[in-house]
Amino acid sequence: MSDKHVGNPNWVKGKSGNPKGRPKRGHTFTDALRESIDKHDLAVMLISKARGGDVIAQKYIYDRLEGKPVETIDNNVTKSPEVIEVIHTVKATDKATDKTDTEDQPTVVER
């Protein structure tokens, strides 16, 4: 191993580069919303919309309570002899087609 110093040479081992920590958040739009909206009133409004037939509100509530479904893909496909035969036939057809298609293409001559 080499004795080369990795990183900024001004860094001191064991000393934080940010001793005051992360700065406090400023007054953002999200902060203003959090201060002005009563969470209970918001939940009542959402439930009321869902009961009234609002499908988006229903879906939102369901997703929040149950979590969004995770899609899984099964790539462990068992190949039957019939499927393997079709694959070989397609490959053979592609090779045969490639040979006939070259007749229509111009020939490149190198000098």
Question: What are the residue ranges spanned by the domains of the chain?
Answer: 29-66
Q: What pLDDT digit, counting tens, does each position of 94-108 carry?
A: 777 665 555 566 666
For the entire predicted model, the pTM comes to 0.39
Q: What pLDDT digit, counting tens, does each position of 45-100 carry?
A: 999 999 999 999 999 999 999 988 888 877 776 777 887 888 888 888 877 766 55
* Rounded Cα distance, 36 and 28, in Å: 12
**Under 8 Å CB-to-CB from 60, ≥6 apart: which residues?**
46, 50
Measured between its terminal Cα atoms, the distance across the chain in Å is 53
